[in-house]
């Protein structure tokens, strides 16, 4: 038993998983630098865009990402990881070059949409591959590792790029991001065409072979029907998935603007601001994931939503920087509770034989929240002021706190 446990844990850090995590980290580093630090301030101060236009520009990235997530899941199941991921990172590379070389709103929006198309395979590939390797008993742990790579990239990107942006100097930062994407392309070339963790029995393979001879749209329809039949999901889970990312999406376009325009933070102070929340989340993620696997999902959701909602509702009313940093840290702790437990809940209803398509479908629903959130946020800021987006985000988390109580959750994060 001890040897089997050690072997299972080692699989979590196999070359395949590490390649996926490196790609996740670097791509999210680039996205975080662009979406959280460079574009909001650059478009506001240099291009003179309104917050509403900035919201739409960032939403273009999430629209591009979301449009392809469900079909990408199906493509992964059919074509494997290397082809899918390599196509995505090449598109991402092109988008970064386009954003770096244009000053027009329209091309900026097109570049962000291309960024979304390029990053669409990222989450379906990484989550499908890592959960397939981890097995049923390690879902929360592996999701914590994946989100640690994601948060490290998202957090370090805005922090690191601050030291290169300075006062409206963007050329060095764009060169760094293009260099990062070159590294990602090279790593994507190392991915296997297919991961052979679960191949299924001969009857299933024969059924798939006969189905593959059907017309294309018939195959898609049959496949999605099979996915729907194989899921046993509470109907409340779908609006909850949307609400969870909607609350996060509201903060995306206005967090940097709030720090720069309202709090008047320097680049160094803003970096500390991000570290206060992001570092706390990263530090607690893996321990929380292990505790979710051991104890269960519900307690962590209750604590996480409560802490995060409280931090956001009081955030813009804090009068001292010390209190602000404490609230940011509290928000980080709250999300350290939410991320592994929430994703363990979602992973627990994913049928192993349809991982790619179902994860793609679920991520599409979550992605809708990231599309609508920035648009609503920009309008709230322009019309009602800087308090409104934070109050809306906190209120949505309160709603989620109530909603998750009515969603059936497997004990100890285990699948049926």
115-141 pLDDT, tens per residue? Answer: 988 888 887 778 777 767 666 555 666
Q: Is residue 44 part of a domain?
A: yes
Query: Measuring CA to CA, how many Å separate 345 from each of 162, 339, 368, 411, 416?
Result: 36, 10, 19, 10, 12
φ, ψ dihedrals at 102, nearest 5°: -120, 155
Total domains present in the chain: 1
Q: How far apart are CA 114 and CA 233, in angstroms?
A: 32
* DSSP letter (8 states) at residue 193: S
Tell me the DSSP string of 45-64.
Answer: IIS---HHHHHHHHHHHHHH
Q: How far apart are CA 76 and CA 220, in angstroms?
A: 13
* DSSP three-state, residue 387: helix
Q: Is residue 216 part of a domain?
A: no
Q: Is 27's pLDDT higher than 80?
A: yes
100-109 pLDDT, tens per residue? Answer: 887 787 888 8
Q: Is residue 18 part of a domain?
A: yes
Handedness of CA 60, 65, 27, 176 (dihedral sign): negative
Q: How many CA atoms lie within 13 A of 197 on its CB side?
A: 23
Q: Which of 307, 52, 89, 75 is nearest to 193 (CA)?
A: 75
Q: Is residue 223 part of a domain?
A: no
CA dihedral 283, 287, 288, 292 (to 10 degrees): 160
Query: Measuring CA to CA, how many Å separate 144 from each of 106, 130, 383?
Result: 37, 11, 38
171: CB partners within 8 A, 6+ apart: none
User: What are the contacts of 199-207 at 24+ separation with CB within 8 A?
Assistant: 200/353, 204/353
Tell me the DSSP string of 124-168.
Answer: HHHHHHHHHHH-GGGHHHHHHHHHHHHHHHHHHHHHHHHHHHTTT
Q: Is 415's pLDDT higher than 90?
A: no
Q: Which of 65, 68, 57 is nearest to 35 (CA)?
A: 57
Q: How far apart are CA 268 and CA 306, in angstroms?
A: 30
* DSSP three-state, residue 236: coil
What's the confidence (pLDDT) of residue 283?
83
What's the confidence (pLDDT) of residue 203?
41
What is the domain extent for residue 380? Answer: 2-192+230-413
Q: Which of 20, 40, 23 is nearest to 180 (CA)?
A: 23
Q: How far apart are CA 361 and CA 220, in angstroms?
A: 13
* DSSP three-state, residue 14: coil
Q: Which of 82, 76, 13, 12 is nearest to 355 (CA)?
A: 76
Query: Tell me, what CATH number does 183's domain have?
Result: 1.20.1250.20
141-170 pLDDT, tens per residue? Answer: 677 777 778 777 877 887 788 777 655 567
Between 364 and 332, whose confidence is greater? Answer: 332
* DSSP three-state, residue 296: coil
Query: Do 70 and 124 touch, CB atoms closer than 8 A?
Result: no
Q: Is residue 248 part of a domain?
A: yes
What's the confidence (pLDDT) of residue 410?
59
Query: Do 393 and 250 touch, CB atoms closer than 8 A?
Result: yes
Q: Is 355's pLDDT higher than 80?
A: no
* DSSP letter (8 states) at residue 33: I
Angle between helices 81-101 and 15-32 (to 10 degrees): 20
Q: Is residue 215 part of a domain?
A: no
Q: How far apart are CA 187 and CA 164, in angstroms?
A: 25
Q: Is residue 211 part of a domain?
A: no
Query: How far from chain centre, in Å, is Cα 241?
Result: 12
Q: Which of 115, 73, 105 is nearest to 361 (CA)?
A: 73
Q: Which of 73, 66, 65, 109 is nearest to 91 (CA)?
A: 65
Q: What percent of the chain has pLDDT over 70?
A: 77
Q: How far apart are CA 263 and CA 213, in angstroms?
A: 61
Residue 396 banded pLDDT, cuts 50, 70, 90? very high
388: CB partners within 8 A, 6+ apart: 380, 381
Q: How far apart are CA 52 and CA 30, in angstroms?
A: 23
Q: Which of 8-22, 92-106, 263-277 has the highest mean pLDDT?
A: 92-106
For 346, left (φ over 0), alpha (ψ -120 to 50), or beta? Answer: alpha
Q: Is residue 97 part of a domain?
A: yes
Residue 227 banded pLDDT, cuts 50, 70, 90? low
What's the confidence (pLDDT) of residue 180?
92
């Amino acid at each position: 038993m001890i040897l089997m446990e050690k072997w299972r844990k080692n699989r979590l850090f196999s070359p395949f998983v590490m390649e996926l995590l490196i790609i996740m980290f670097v791509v999210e580093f680039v996205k975080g630098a662009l979406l959280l630090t460079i574009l909001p301030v650059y478009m506001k101060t240099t291009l003179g865009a309104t917050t509403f236009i900035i919201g739409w520009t960032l939403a273009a990235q999430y629209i591009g990402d979301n449009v392809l997530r469900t079909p990408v899941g199906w493509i992964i199941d059919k074509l494997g990881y290397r082809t899918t991921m390599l196509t995505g990172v090449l598109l991402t590379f092109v988008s970064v070059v386009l954003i770096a070389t244009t000053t027009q709103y329209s091309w900026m929006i097109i570049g962000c949409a291309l960024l979304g198309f390029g990053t669409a395979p990222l989450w379906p590939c990484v989550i499908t591959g890592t959960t397939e390797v981890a097995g049923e008993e390690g879902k929360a742990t592996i999701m914590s590792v994946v989100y640690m790579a994601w948060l490290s990239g998202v957090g370090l990107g805005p922090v690191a790029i601050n030291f290169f942006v300075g006062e409206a100097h963007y050329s060095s930062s764009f060169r760094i991001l293009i260099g990062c994407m070159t590294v990602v392309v090279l790593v994507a070339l190392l991915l296997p065409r297919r991961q052979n963790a679960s191949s299924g029995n001969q009857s299933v393979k024969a059924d798939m072979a006969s189905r593959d001879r059907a017309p294309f749209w018939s195959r898609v329809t049959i496949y999605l029907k099979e996915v729907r039949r194989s899921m046993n999901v509470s109907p409340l889970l779908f609006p909850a998935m949307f609400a969870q990312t909607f609350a996060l999406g509201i903060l995306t376009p206005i967090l940097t603007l709030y720090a720069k325009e309202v709090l008047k933070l320097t680049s160094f102070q803003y970096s500390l601001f991000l570290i206060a929340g992001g570092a706390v989340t990263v530090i607690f993620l893996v321990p929380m994931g292990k505790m979710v696997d051991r104890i269960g999902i519900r307690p962590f959701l209750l604590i996480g939503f409560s802490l995060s909602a409280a931090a956001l509702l009081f955030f813009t009313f804090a009068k001292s920087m010390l209190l602000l940093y404490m609230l940011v840290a509290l928000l980080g702790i709250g999300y350290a509770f939410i991320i592994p437990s929430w994703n363990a809940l979602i992973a627990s209803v994913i049928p192993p034989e349809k991982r790619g398509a179902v994860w793609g479908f679920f991520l599409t629903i979550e992605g809708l929240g990231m599309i609508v959130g920035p648009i609503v946020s920009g309008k709230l800021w322009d019309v009602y002021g800087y308090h409104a987006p934070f109050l809306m985000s906190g209120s949505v988390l309160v709603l989620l706190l109530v909603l998750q109580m009515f969603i059936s959750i497997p004990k100890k994060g285990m699948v049926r």
